[in-house]
Structure 1
Amino acid sequence: MSGGVRRGLADLSCRALQAMLPPSLRSWGWAVRCETAEIPDDTEALLFALGSLFGLMPRALATHLLHRRASLTRDGGLLSGGSITMNAHPRRLGITCAIGAVILGLVYMAIAGAPARYLAINVGALVIGLAVLATLGRNRIAGQRWAGGTIAAMAGVLLATALLGNTADGAARWVKLGGLSIQPSLVLLPLTLVLFARTRDALATAGLIAAAVAMALQPDRAMAGMLAASLAVLAMMRSDRHVVAALGASVTGFAMTLARADTLPAVPYVDQILYTSFDVHAAAGAAVLGGCALLLVPAITGWTRDRARREIYAVFGAVWFTAILAAALGNYPTPIVGYGGSAIIGYALSLLALPKRADAELGAGARAGNEADAIAADRPMFLAPA
């Protein structure tokens, strides 16, 4: 890894810290940036910037939360019966988490000495993912009218990959695009599952069954496990005949993948980095763990603030927690923080199925809004540069 790339990542970490800090602490971010610029060794400068980012993030978060609470009280957020209306924006939060996780992944790869093109590919995937999210967010493909057809179409792509995709050691999980290997299941399956949590019909159920068949044929134990675990979570929270049928197919498909040996070796900077990153440097390991934790923040926030649609956030969390767990247990890609653009694009697309706004009333006698009305009220999303 060239010194220029390390220096650029150090400056990027400082800028990210400055953007996160509230105005009262912004001078600290500027001091960290100046101090980083004075360090002659590029690696030491990167480690100092990363340490400052981790050290000040809890303080910044606490300050933002205290400011929000004071603002709610000052602006008359009290409702009758002692309730407080609190608004959250899951998609915006997810975009922030995606950017933060990619930055932490770049820091890990820079410290570990990954080729510069790996970093460029991850950055390019983030740009593509956010651009597609912004474009599709103007349409209503996540609504009830289009969800079934969208799920079926994506399942068709997964099935075609299993039958016609590029193979390695008996597994057919990839397609070649412009010299790059793309894993369609990491791109499409997360969005498929979160859409199914929002809207279920016969066509969507058929799509999930086809996806389960595709994961068994590829075979892809990690993605089959993601499918089964997410549908199990959905069945526990809001079961119906569509969920039960899809869950039965997914469990069968997952069992089939367990019956076949997975002999794919670990790929550097992709697989097993939850462990190997700490062998490189403690800061690299912290970056990997921190990036993985960020992926679950939208699910946790939505769960606590949007009680009427908890199953959507639960499935979103199950999708990405299962991906992280699979990466910890076997030779499967570590999402977002490892090298590979498929999971980055997939995470951005899965945000499309989250509600744009989560309104919750906290307090005695508070009630959540009607789910169908809230879903229909989603308006086009526009992405503003940070």
Structure 2
Amino acid sequence: MSFANLIVAVAAMLLPTHLRDWGTAMRAEVGEIEGGGTRYALSCLGFAARAAIDFHLLRPLRLPLDAREDPTPNEEPTGMRLTRDLFQRPWRMTAACAIAATGLGLAYLSAAGAPVRYLAINLGALLIGFVAVAIVLAGQRGGRINAGAVGVTLGAALLLTSLLGQPVDGATRWIAVGPLFIQPSLILLPIMTIAFARARDVLSTAGILAAAAALALQPDRAMAGALAAGLVALTLIRPERNVLVALAGAGIGFAVTLLRADTLPAVPYVDQILYTSFAVSPLAGLAVFAGVALMLVPAIVGRLYDVDHQEAYAVFGAVWLAVIAAAALGNYPTPVVGYGGSAIIGYVVSLLGLPKPASASAKERAAMPTPDTPERPDTRCAGISYSV
């Protein structure tokens, strides 16, 4: 298969179901272009990525006014409906918080005089995260993803990082991708832990234990603490055997990182910016704190509005709160608002571990509580079904 055909195959996989005929046309067209058709293939990939992001992430944020039945003159304002729609669908709110927090981080980096390429890298990481989400969603539609197998694979990837990664001052947490250094633990560990909260089988447990061992070897005290924090939150809700085994492994891994020296110096625009941002300007400091606060909003909203999946939201909140706390306590990356694409990709990808609401019908939306219909404690999530 040529390079152009490979690109078109990826583009076709990204396309939403209602656009799959375009994928067939792309494959046929690229085969007829002399010289490989690489430029055409890249344009197809761009179109497919935009279509996937619009369909899976942006379309749900646009209120389906034309789908509502019997609109009345007293229908609630658009802004209020949008807010209610987001609060009742925390999966979508996570995407919105990722975009907003990254934007606030870009504002800080610009005010602090960071190189323009830092801003470009952060923005590119946000787009890469959403494209990765679209690819996984396409795979889920085809029924090709097994949670346990994915957990073991990601745990093995973290182990390989600790053994074959790029060492810096005695720590091996990074892999080199051209001129960039990527921290796989920031990308993979959050989604691993959140997914484990929903699929606590033997293979997923093995993946968590492999991740704990990898973090101890690297050593990565911040992410080892995040893993332990997430599993503590899960244990409080689901004290099952596999959860307890995973917590024990994470606890041992975190203890090992506490015993090993961590002498990495602070990096400008990456570490300690929760403190240094106010030296830039009060607005820059507020942007940083608002950004990290937004990261925790989905966990709070999810626990309020989706009582059937509280463990996933609790783990999501515990993991990212621990990452933020580590950035405040030591020389560890400040997630999303600081320079570094790994945390941005990891935050966006971690929303895949949260339960995604199924599309509600017009009648179901009409049954949702509104400001004109007082909520009852047992019906505040009426009309929303979740797929696991």
| Partner residue in 2 for 1:207 | 207
* 8 A Cα contact 1:142 1:352, kept in partner: no
Amino acid at match of 2:225: G
Q: CA deviation at 1:97?
A: 0.7
Answering whether residue 254 of structure 2 is matched by residue 254 of structure 1, we say yes
Which of 357, 375, 379 does residue 387 from structure 2 map onto? 375
Amino acid at match of 2:271: D
Answering whether residue 376 of structure 2 is matched by residue 363 of structure 1, we say yes
Tell me how far apart the structure 1 counterparts of residues 143 and 304 of structure 2 sit (CA, whole Å).
Answer: 23
* 8 A Cα contact 1:140 1:146, kept in partner: no
CA deviation profile, 1:286-310 (whole Å, cap 9, x unmatched):
0100110111111111110000111
| Partner residue in 1 for 2:98 | 98
* 8 A Cα contact 1:141 1:147, kept in partner: no
Tell me how far apart the structure 1 counterparts of residues 301 and 216 of structure 2 sit (CA, whole Å).
Answer: 33
Question: TM-score, normalized by length of structure 2?
Answer: 0.72
Amino acid at match of 2:376: G
Tell me how far apart the structure 2 counterparts of residues 143 and 233 of structure 1 sit (CA, whole Å).
Answer: 30
* 8 A Cα contact 1:141 1:150, kept in partner: no
Secondary structure at 2:387 match in 1: helix
CA deviation profile, 1:142-188 (whole Å, cap 9, x unmatched):
99971111111000000000011000111000000121000000010
CA deviation profile, 1:252-289 (whole Å, cap 9, x unmatched):
01001001111000000000000000011001000100
Change in CA separation of 1:67 and 1:196 when aligned onto 2, cut-off 3 Å = closer
Tell me how far apart the structure 1 counterparts of residues 142 and 249 of structure 2 sit (CA, whole Å).
Answer: 23
Amino acid at match of 1:161: T
Answering whether residue 293 of structure 2 is matched by residue 264 of structure 1, we say no
Amino acid at match of 1:234: L
* 8 A Cα contact 1:273 1:338, kept in partner: yes
Secondary structure at 1:284 match in 2: helix
Tell me how far apart the structure 2 counterparts of residues 172 and 236 of structure 1 sit (CA, whole Å).
Answer: 32
> Where in structure 2 are the equivalents of 1:321-332 lying within 5 Å?
321-332=321-332
* 8 A Cα contact 1:144 1:199, kept in partner: no
Change in CA separation of 1:282 and 1:215 when aligned onto 2, cut-off 3 Å = same
Tell me how far apart the structure 1 counterparts of residues 291 and 192 of structure 2 sit (CA, whole Å).
Answer: 23
Tell me how far apart the structure 1 counterparts of residues 380 and 89 of structure 2 sit (CA, whole Å).
Answer: 19
CA deviation profile, 1:96-125 (whole Å, cap 9, x unmatched):
111111110010011100011100100111
CA deviation profile, 1:303-333 (whole Å, cap 9, x unmatched):
1000011110010111111110000000000
| Partner residue in 1 for 2:152 | 152
Answering whether residue 319 of structure 2 is matched by residue 307 of structure 1, we say no
Q: CA deviation at 1:374?
A: 3.3
Answering whether residue 170 of structure 2 is matched by residue 170 of structure 1, we say yes
CA deviation profile, 1:318-355 (whole Å, cap 9, x unmatched):
11111100000000000000000000110111011111
Amino acid at match of 1:291: G
Tell me how far apart the structure 1 counterparts of residues 176 and 280 of structure 2 sit (CA, whole Å).
Answer: 31
Tell me how far apart the structure 1 counterparts of residues 357 and 290 of structure 2 sit (CA, whole Å).
Answer: 25
| Partner residue in 2 for 1:188 | 188
| Partner residue in 2 for 1:290 | 290
Tell me how far apart the structure 1 counterparts of residues 352 and 82 of structure 2 sit (CA, whole Å).
Answer: 26
Change in CA separation of 1:90 and 1:139 when aligned onto 2, cut-off 3 Å = farther
* 8 A Cα contact 2:305 2:380, kept in partner: no
Secondary structure at 1:264 match in 2: coil
Tell me how far apart the structure 2 counterparts of residues 127 and 179 of structure 1 sit (CA, whole Å).
Answer: 19
Secondary structure at 2:356 match in 1: coil
Answering whether residue 150 of structure 2 is matched by residue 138 of structure 1, we say no
Change in CA separation of 1:67 and 1:351 when aligned onto 2, cut-off 3 Å = closer
Tell me how far apart the structure 2 counterparts of residues 202 and 264 of structure 1 sit (CA, whole Å).
Answer: 36
* 8 A Cα contact 2:215 2:221, kept in partner: yes
Q: CA deviation at 1:375?
A: 3.0
Q: CA deviation at 1:66?
A: 4.9
Q: Which runs of 5+ in 2 are unaligned?
A: 1-60, 64-76, 361-367, 370-374
Coordinate RMSD, CA, aligned: 2.8
Change in CA separation of 1:138 and 1:221 when aligned onto 2, cut-off 3 Å = same
Change in CA separation of 1:313 and 1:103 when aligned onto 2, cut-off 3 Å = same
CA deviation profile, 1:30-79 (whole Å, cap 9, x unmatched):
xxxxxxxxxxxxxxxxxxxxxxxxxxxxxxxxx8775579x99xxxxxxx
Q: CA deviation at 1:365?
A: 4.6
- Higher mean C-alpha deviation, range 349-358 or range 173-182: 349-358
| Partner residue in 1 for 2:352 | 352
Amino acid at match of 1:202: V
| Partner residue in 2 for 1:39 | none
Q: Which runs of 5+ in 1 are unaligned?
A: 1-19, 23-62, 73-85, 377-386
* 8 A Cα contact 1:152 1:203, kept in partner: yes
Secondary structure at 2:176 match in 1: strand
Tell me how far apart the structure 1 counterparts of residues 301 and 155 of structure 2 sit (CA, whole Å).
Answer: 29
Tell me how far apart the structure 2 counterparts of residues 178 and 124 of structure 1 sit (CA, whole Å).
Answer: 15
| Partner residue in 2 for 1:198 | 198
Secondary structure at 1:140 match in 2: helix
| Partner residue in 2 for 1:277 | 277
| Partner residue in 1 for 2:221 | 221
| Partner residue in 2 for 1:112 | 112
Tell me how far apart the structure 2 counterparts of residues 367 and 68 of structure 1 sit (CA, whole Å).
Answer: 16
* 8 A Cα contact 1:271 1:333, kept in partner: yes
Q: CA deviation at 1:141?
A: 9.1
Q: Which has the higher contact order (CA 8 A, sep 6+)?
A: 1
User: How many residues are paired up?
Assistant: 300
Secondary structure at 2:232 match in 1: helix
Tell me how far apart the structure 2 counterparts of residues 219 and 144 of structure 1 sit (CA, whole Å).
Answer: 33
Change in CA separation of 1:118 and 1:143 when aligned onto 2, cut-off 3 Å = same
Tell me how far apart the structure 1 counterparts of residues 202 and 306 of structure 2 sit (CA, whole Å).
Answer: 27
